[in-house]
Amino acid sequence: MSVMSRILKFYLNGNLVHVAAGEADTLLDVLRDGLGLTSPKCGCNHGDCGACTVILNGYSAKSCTILALTAEGKNVWTVDGLANGDKLHPVQRAFHEYGAPQCGYCTPGMVMAAVAFLNHYPSPTESEVKEALSGNLCRCGGYKKYVQAVMAAARGEFGPLPEGSVENV
Amino acid sequence: MDLCRKEVSKMFNSVGKRVPRYDGIGHVTGRTQYVSDVRMPDMLTCKTLRCPYHKARIKSIDVSEARKSSGVYAVITKDNVPHNLFAMVPDHHVLAEEITRYKGQNIAAVAAVSREAALDALAKIKIEYEELKPVIDPEEAIADGAPQVRPEGNNHLFDGTSLVRKIRRGNVEEGFKEADFIVEGRYTTPSQEHAPMETCCSVAYLDASGKLVIHSKAQGLYFAQGDLANVFQLPLNKLKFVGGTIGGGFGGMNSIHTDHIAGLLALATGKPVRFALTREEETLFSTIRSPWIFKIKDGIRKDGVITARHVEVLHDCGAYTELGLYAVEKNANLIAGANLIKNLAVDSRMVYTNKMPSGSMRGFGVNVGQYAEQVQLDRLARAVGISPMEIRFINAFHVGDKNHTGNELASVSTIETLQKVAAMSGQKLPEKYLAMSSDK
C-alpha cells in the first residue's frame, strides 16, 4: 500500500465499503490486500490474463489495470457476490456441472466475464461466447468446457438467468 | 470369473460418467484458497536482487544502506545462508556466489513492510559487477575454448567420468551394412515456459513452537522439505510444509523458486514473509523445459525393417543441473521409440550454458524425443516407399520383446493403438495389419 493514501468508498457486492487506497494502488490491490477478498486473482498484473476480472458498473473489467481511486462511488461485483445463499448463479452451476475449472485459478475471473457478457447478450452464439471469453486465459486448457458451459447457461439449462444487471442478482 | 468381472465393473462405476470435482464448488465460488491467497498478520513482502547479466563476477556488494532503508526488516546475501546449495542435484546456489551463471539469478533478498519499501531497499544495494563472456548456444558450449559456465567445465560427466550416457545393443555398424537405405535427421526443440496462471509463491513464518512453516506451491512437498532442511540446517521436525490447491504447476513447481528465500527471511526476521514471483520473473528466470538437439542415423531394409539406429543427443541444461540429469536418463531410455531395433546405440550428452536451469515439464525428456523419433519414422517410410502406418506396424514391439535397456515387456499396445488411430482417422489398413496383435 502506497504511503500517500485516501479513504476510498465504493459498493462491493452491493455493500458500501470504506478502505484506504494509495494513488498507485490498483483495484486488485485494494480488493486482495486492503479488503482481504482473494477471489480476484493476480495472474499477470498487466491486464493480459483476465484472472482479476470483476464487474464494474455492469461491465467486465480487469481490476489489475484500474487505479483503485477511480472506483470511487462505483459498483464492483466479484464472484463472492453472485450466489444467493447456497443457490449458485446459473453460470457458476454450469461451470461446475460441466467440469470446466481444472486448477481453478482462472475461474473467478472467467465467471465474472461470462456473467457480465450474458447480462448484455443473453442469447449468444458460440463464436460470440468465445470472443467474450477471449480476454481470460486458462493455462490448463479448459476453454472448450467453459464455452459449452456458458452456452448451456444461456439456454437456461441451469435455470433462468437473473433479470437485469448483476446489481439485481 | 464372473465374480471377478463384477468386481472390476464396480471399479469402473465412474468411467464415461460426469463426476463433479470434489473441489469444484470452491473454484466457481472463489472460495478455494491458493498459496498466493494466504495472508498472515504483520506479513512482510520479499523482493530479490537479480543478476542483470548472463554471466558476471560480483566484485563487491554492500547492503548496509539497504538494511537501514525505511520499512526494511532484513537483507540477506549468500553469507546469510546456512548451506548455500539446493535442488535435486544440490549444485544450485540459493543466493549467488562470486560468479553468477545466468541472467536473473538471485543475489540478495529483502523483506520489508511493503512492495515499495522492498524495491526502495533493493535500489540501495551497492553492487559492482564485472560482466563476463557467457556461452548461450549448447553446441558452442561443447566446442574447445568455449567460455566456462562452471569451474569444472561445461560437460556433465556421467558417473563422474564419461562425457556420454551410453546405451548399446547389438552392433550398429553391422546393422548399417545390412541396410538398403541410410536416413539421417537432425531435430531441435526450443525452451518452453510452463506459464501457470498463478506465479510461484511462498508464505513462510515461525509458528508458536518455533517451527518454520512454509506454505508452498511445491509439486513434491517432501522433496522440497528434505532439500530445504539442508539449506536452513534445520532438523525435519522443525520444518513444516503446507501444500494445497495450486494455480497450475505443469512440472515447474518441482523446482524450488521461492520457498528457500521466503524461509530464510522468516528465520531472519521472525515475521511472516511472502515471496511471489512477478509474471516477468516467472517467465524469464524460473526453470523451463530446456532445449534439445537430436541427431538420428537409421539403416532400413527395403521391407521396412529398421536394421540399426544411432542417436546422438545433446541436452542444454542451463547453468545448474536441477532436473536435467533425470530428463537425460528418461530421454535415453525412450528415444528409440516403440520399435524393436536389434542394433542400437544412444549417446546422450548434457551441457551447461549460461541460461536458467532445466526443470521438469509434462513428460520432460520423453515427448521431445518422441517428436524427433516420430518425424524420423515418417522420413524412413518415405525413403522405402511405404506408408507412415506400415513402418510403425513392421517395427512395433510385441509382448515378450526386450526394450532398448533390456527389460522384458509385459504389456505392449503399440499395434492396438495404431489400429485404433487408423479407425478414428478413417484410414483403411490392409488386412494383414488389422490381423496383427501385440501378443506374438
Q: Which domains does chain B have, with CATH numbers?
A: 37-132+195-285 (3.90.1170.50), 165-192+288-434 (3.30.365.10)
Q: Are B438 and B415 in contact (CB under 8 A)?
A: yes
* Chain B residues in contact with A51 (beta carbon < 8 A): 197
Q: CB-based burial of residue B287 (10 Å sphere; 0-12 exposed, 13-18 middle, 19+ buried)?
A: buried
Q: Give φ, ψ of B27 to 5 degrees.
A: -65, -45
Q: Which pLDDT score is estimated for A1? A: 46
Q: Which pLDDT score is estimated for A166? A: 56
Q: Please check whether residue A169 lies inside any domain of the structure.
A: no
Q: Please check whether residue A75 lies inside any domain of the structure.
A: yes
H helix runs in B147-300, sequence order: 172-178, 221-232, 259-269, 279-285
What global pTM score does this model have? 0.94
Count of structural domains within chain A: 2
pLDDT tens track for A73-126: 999 999 999 998 889 999 999 999 999 999 999 999 999 999 999 999 999 999
By 3-state DSSP, what share of chain A in percent is helix, strand and coil, each rounded to 5? Answer: 35, 20, 45
Q: Please check whether residue A167 lies inside any domain of the structure.
A: no
Range of the domain at A139: 90-160
Residues A14 and A38 in one domain: yes
Please state the ipTM of this predicted complex: 0.95
HSE value, Cβ hemisphere, 13 Å, CA-based, for A60: 26
| Cell numbers at A50, concatenated | 483476465
Q: Which of A3, A42, A137 sits opposite B36 (nearest CB)?
A: A42
Residues A46 and A105 in one domain: no
Question: Is the CA virtual torsion B406, B412, B413, B416 positive or negative?
Answer: positive
Q: Which pLDDT score is estimated for B406? A: 93
Residue ranges of chain B whose CB lies within 8 Å of a chain A CB: 18-21, 23-34, 36-37, 39, 114, 116, 195-199, 245-248, 250, 278-279
Looking up residue A67, the CATH number of its domain turns out to be 3.10.20.30
Looking up residue A125, the CATH number of its domain turns out to be 1.10.150.120
Mutation target vs B (from A26, A89, A139; most B CBs, 10 A cutoff): A139
Residues A62 and A99 in one domain: no
Q: Which of B39, B116, B279 sits opposite A46 (nearest CB)?
A: B279
Residues A74 and A95 in one domain: no
d(CA B326, CA B221): 18
Q: Please check whether residue A44 lies inside any domain of the structure.
A: yes
The single-letter code of the amino acid at B8 is V
Strands B106-112 and B44-50: antiparallel
Residues A30 and A62 in one domain: yes
Q: Are B292 and B161 in contact (CB under 8 A)?
A: no
Q: Please check whether residue A168 lies inside any domain of the structure.
A: no
Residues A95 and A152 in one domain: yes
d(CA B409, CA B397): 8
Q: What is the mean pLDDT of residues A25-30?
A: 98
Residues A62 and A124 in one domain: no
d(CA A143, CA A135): 12
Q: Are A43 and B279 in contact (CB under 8 A)?
A: yes
| Cell numbers at B291, concatenated | 532445449
Q: Please check whether residue A122 lies inside any domain of the structure.
A: yes
Among A50, A80, A110, the domain-final residue is A80
Name the helix (H) or strand (E) containing B199. none
Residues A104 and A127 in one domain: yes
Residues A134 and A73 in one domain: no
Tens of each residue's pLDDT in chain B, 440 residues: 566 667 777 777 778 887 888 999 999 999 999 999 999 999 999 999 999 999 999 999 999 999 999 999 999 999 999 999 999 999 999 999 999 999 999 999 999 999 999 999 999 999 999 999 999 999 999 999 999 999 999 999 999 999 999 999 999 999 999 999 999 999 999 999 999 999 999 999 999 999 999 999 999 999 999 999 999 999 999 999 999 899 999 999 999 999 999 999 999 999 999 999 999 999 999 999 999 999 999 999 999 999 999 999 999 999 999 999 999 999 999 999 999 999 999 999 999 999 999 999 999 999 999 999 999 999 999 999 999 999 999 999 999 999 999 999 999 999 999 999 999 999 999 999 999 999 97
* Chain A residues in contact with B32 (beta carbon < 8 A): 104
Q: Which pLDDT score is estimated for A84? A: 86
| Cell numbers at B199, concatenated | 506465479
What's the gap in Å between the CA of A151 and the closest CA on chain B?
Answer: 17
Helix (H, G, I), strand (E, B) or coil at B332: helix
Q: Please check whether residue A166 lies inside any domain of the structure.
A: no
* Chain A residues in contact with B28 (beta carbon < 8 A): 79, 88, 92-93, 95-96, 101, 107, 111
HSE value, Cβ hemisphere, 13 Å, CA-based, for B325: 15
Q: Please check whether residue A29 lies inside any domain of the structure.
A: yes
Among A55, A80, A105, the domain-final residue is A80
Among A26, A47, A80, the domain-final residue is A80
Residues A61 and A125 in one domain: no
Residues A94 and A73 in one domain: no
**A5 and chain B in contact, CB less than 8 A:** no
pLDDT tens track for A42-69: 999 999 999 999 999 999 999 999 999 9
b/e for A50-88, b at 16 or more Cβ within 10 A?
bbbbbbbebebbbbbebebbebeebbbbbbbbbbeeeeb
Q: Are B125 and B60 in contact (CB under 8 A)?
A: no
d(CA B304, CA B391): 6
| Cell numbers at A101, concatenated | 475449472
Residues A115 and A55 in one domain: no
Query: Using the 8-state DSSP alphabet, how is residue A103 labeled?
Result: S
Confidence band for A169, pLDDT divided at 50, 70 and 90: very low
Name the helix (H) or strand (E) containing B8. helix B2-11
Q: Are A145 and B21 in contact (CB under 8 A)?
A: no
Q: Of B222, B202, B217, which Cα lies nearest the Cα of B263?
A: B202
Helix (H, G, I), strand (E, B) or coil at B261: helix
Mutation target vs B (from A4, A13, A103; most B CBs, 10 A cutoff): A103
HSE value, Cβ hemisphere, 13 Å, CA-based, for B339: 28
Query: Using the 8-state DSSP alphabet, how is residue B35 labeled?
Result: G
